[in-house]
Amino acid sequence: MKLKAGFVTQDMGNEQIMVATGKAKFSGFVRSNRTAAEIIEALKTETTEEAIVEMLFAKYDATREVIAESVSKVLDQLRSIGALDE
């Protein structure tokens, strides 16, 4: 899976803003915290849900289950706005 080309991101300190360009069906922007921003950054290249979970598990002091749940929620939100190519 990968973030669709119609979405552009910008870091704004402790959050990331993702804006849909004219190429996207979604109209608006998404504000993300640092963890969600890391997931979105990982999606700028072809990856899998499991690879994202592994990346975050290596970085954060949390259980794999908690990380997997968080990744799943973010991916579901991105799917709901049509931001993922799968």
Mean pLDDT of 28-43: 94
pLDDT, mean over the chain: 94
State yes or no: pLDDT of 1 exceeds 90: yes
Q: Please, is 36 exposed, middle or buried when counting C-beta atoms within 10 Å of its C-beta (0-12, 13-18, 19+)?
A: buried
The 3-class SS string of 13-57 reads CCEEEEEECCCCCCCCEEEEEHHHHHHHHHCCCCCCHHHHHHHHH
Which of residues 41 and 25 earns the better pLDDT score? 41
Tokens of 34: 């640092």
Tokens of 32: 């993300």
Question: How confident is the model at residue 27, as a pLDDT?
Answer: 84
Coil, strand or helix at 6:
coil
pTM as predicted: 0.90
